[in-house]
């Protein structure tokens, strides 16, 4: 009976500490809360972090990452628990204006794929989805990204809606750079290759890197690919060259940034406007 009472007391004491002792511990959020942006957080190692009530990984050094959906409108809830203390933040999401891009006079094959390639597209997509779903404990994502080309001229942005020959297509989730065929492509960040494919239907020569905690980058339409699945790559390494493989209107580099299945704006991690 006495033992039971003590247990009850202890239980209330824990609850009490949890809710009342709200003295701050280190918590930093880097990134602007715009639609499509990647946010990198830093807190005490061994904290627990929840985004919209879902727990996410915290690295040994206390880093964590999450992304904001392209069309997200509702506030985001960030909860961090450390040593029985809790910090709770609600952030408003800032809206981005997306462009509408009309391209006419494209060959019909490029706008609507022929039936005989449907299965191929499905299979390609499976490979990409699988690579993007990797949620490793690598910590590269917390470092600064670099642009993938020495001269970067941006010709296409994230979120733009493409209307091809009058048919509205799914939004463009990439960042396009104009470059000559054969131009070296540099790794934007340290990472591990999780996909290296020479000939996917839409994206042609395609490479995906895992940077940890569900953060991945993808490079497409490549001419040559110098990296293999499983390889460790350093930032600035030449991973291949610019091409026009897959469904591409001409040589250019299209890059993608993902937080698991959430497609993010690559410009949010590169110092470009
Ligand atoms: Zn593109």
- What tens digit of pLDDT does each residue of 202-249 get? 999 999 999 999 999 999 999 999 999 999 999 999 999 999 999 888
User: What whole-number distance in Å separates Cα of residue 240 and Cα of residue 224?
Assistant: 5
Measured in Å, residue 209 CA sits from the centre of ligand 1 at 18
How many CB atoms are closer than 10 A to CB 238? 13
Q: What does the pLDDT look like over 35-85, one tens digit per residue?
A: 999 999 999 999 999 999 999 999 999 999 999 999 999 999 999 999 999
What is the pLDDT confidence band of residue 21, given thresholds at 50, 70 and 90?
very low
CA of 255 to the centre of ligand 1 (A): 7
What is the DSSP pairing of strand 262-264 with strand 167-168? unpaired
Pairwise CA distance, residues 184 & 226, whole Å: 10
> What is the CA(254)–ligand 1 centre distance, in A?
5
CA-CA distance, 196 to 182, in Å (whole number)?
Answer: 18
- CA of 223 from ligand 1 middle (Å) equals 15
Q: Residue 106's pLDDT band (boundaries 50, 70, 90)?
A: confident
Alpha carbon of 60 to ligand 1 centroid (Å): 35
Q: Could you identify the residue written with the tokens 């460790």? A: 232
Q: Which residues contact 90 (CB under 8 A, 6 or more apart)?
A: 75, 76, 77, 78
Six-digit token pair at 141?
A: 């994502």
Q: How far is the CA of 143 from the centre of ligand 1 (A)?
A: 25
- Indicate the helix (H) or strand (E) that contains 30: strand 27-30
| Interval between CA 218 and ligand 1 midpoint (Å) | 11
Q: What pLDDT was estimated at residue 23?
A: 58
**C-alpha of residue 65 to centroid of ligand 1, in Å:** 25
| Centroid of ligand 1 to alpha carbon of 155 (angstroms) | 8
Report the Cα 190 to chain-centroid distance in Å.
14
CA of 253 to the centre of ligand 1 (A): 7
pLDDT at 129 over 80: yes
Residue that has been written with the tokens 């091809």 in this structure:
164
Burial (CB count within 10 angstroms: exposed 0-12, middle 13-18, buried 19+), residue 213 = buried
């Amino acid at each position: 009976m006495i033992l039971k009472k003590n247990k009850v007391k202890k239980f209330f004491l824990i609850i009490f500490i949890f809710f009342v002792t709200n003295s701050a511990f280190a918590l930093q959020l880097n990134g602007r809360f715009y639609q499509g942006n990647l946010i990198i957080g830093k807190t005490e190692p061994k904290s627990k972090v929840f985004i919209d009530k879902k727990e996410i990984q915290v690295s040994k050094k206390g880093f964590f990452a999450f992304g904001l959906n392209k069309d997200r409108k509702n506030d985001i809830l960030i909860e961090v628990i450390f040593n029985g203390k809790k910090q709770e933040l609600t952030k408003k999401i800032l809206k981005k204006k997306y462009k509408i891009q009309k391209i006419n006079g494209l060959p019909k094959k490029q706008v609507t794929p022929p039936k005989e390639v449907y299965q191929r597209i499905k299979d390609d997509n499976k490979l990409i989805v699988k690579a993007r779903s990797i949620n490793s404990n690598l910590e590269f994502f917390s470092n600064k990204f670099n642009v993938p080309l020495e001269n970067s001229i941006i010709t296409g942005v994230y979120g733009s809606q493409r209307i091809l020959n009058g048919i509205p297509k799914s939004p463009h989730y990439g960042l396009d750079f104009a470059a000559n065929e054969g131009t070296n492509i540099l790794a934007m960040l340290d990472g591990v290759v999780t996909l290296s494919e020479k000939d996917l239907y839409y994206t042609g020569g395609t490479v995906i890197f895992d940077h940890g905690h569900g953060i991945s980058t993808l490079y497409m339409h490549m001419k040559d690919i110098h990296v293999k699945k499983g390889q460790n790559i350093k930032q600035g390494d030449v991973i291949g060259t610019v091409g026009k493989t897959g469904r591409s209107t001409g040589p250019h580099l299209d890059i993608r940034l993902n937080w698991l299945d959430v497609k993010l704006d690559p410009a949010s991690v590169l110092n470009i406007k």
